Amino acid sequence: MTAPKPNPIIDVWNTPFWDACKDGRLVLQRCASTGQCWYPPAPVSPYDPYGDWHWVECSGKAEIVSWTVFHHKYFEGFASEIPYNVTLVRLEEGALLLTNIVDGNDRLVPGGKVEVVFDDRGEFTVPVFKLAEAGR
């Protein structure tokens, strides 16, 4: 039997994010006064604590900022995926997101273009990324 992967902790602020993931959509909060998006979800904008914010659907397109490759088993649920990457991507909407790139570690490059895909893990659907097709 394969061990489960860790589940996110759901709260009132991130529920819309995880609900959208189940529907195959990536959503972020956007500051109404600055237009900037952020992650993780929060009760106030990090750009204007007095401003309004709303949820927006994202393009799902991003670029690789940085990554590391794990060669040791820190979580039993990831044992079969070793070595696996943990990658920081910048979405077109500006927010940074820690994720995994599913295409393999040897093809990761700074500035590499990626696009969101969703990994259905039963109770949760997690946004991960794949390398974008050439010319996107």
Domain boundaries, the chain: 15-131
Mean pLDDT, range 54-58, rounded to an integer: 98
- Per-residue pLDDT at 136 exceeds 60: no
The average confidence (pLDDT) of the chain is: 94
Who has greater pLDDT, 49 or 98?
98
Structure confidence at residue 6 as a pLDDT band (50, 70, 90): confident
pLDDT (tens digit per residue) in 109-127: 999 999 999 999 989 999 9
pTM of the model: 0.92
Distance CA 70, CA 52 (A): 39
The SS3 call for residue 22 is helix
Q: CA-CA distance, 22 to 92, in Å (whole number)?
A: 21
Which position has the token pair 């979580």? Answer: 75
Query: In the sheet where 61-70 sits, what is the strand order?
Result: 96-99, 84-91, 61-70, 113-120, 125-131
Supply the pLDDT for residue 134: 61
Residues ≥6 apart with Cβ < 8 Å to 90: 62, 63, 65, 96
Question: What is the model's pLDDT at position 21?
Answer: 98
Confidence label for 128 from pLDDT (cuts 50, 70 and 90): very high
- Token pair 């820690």 is found at 98
Look at the block and give the residue holding tokens 């044992």.
79
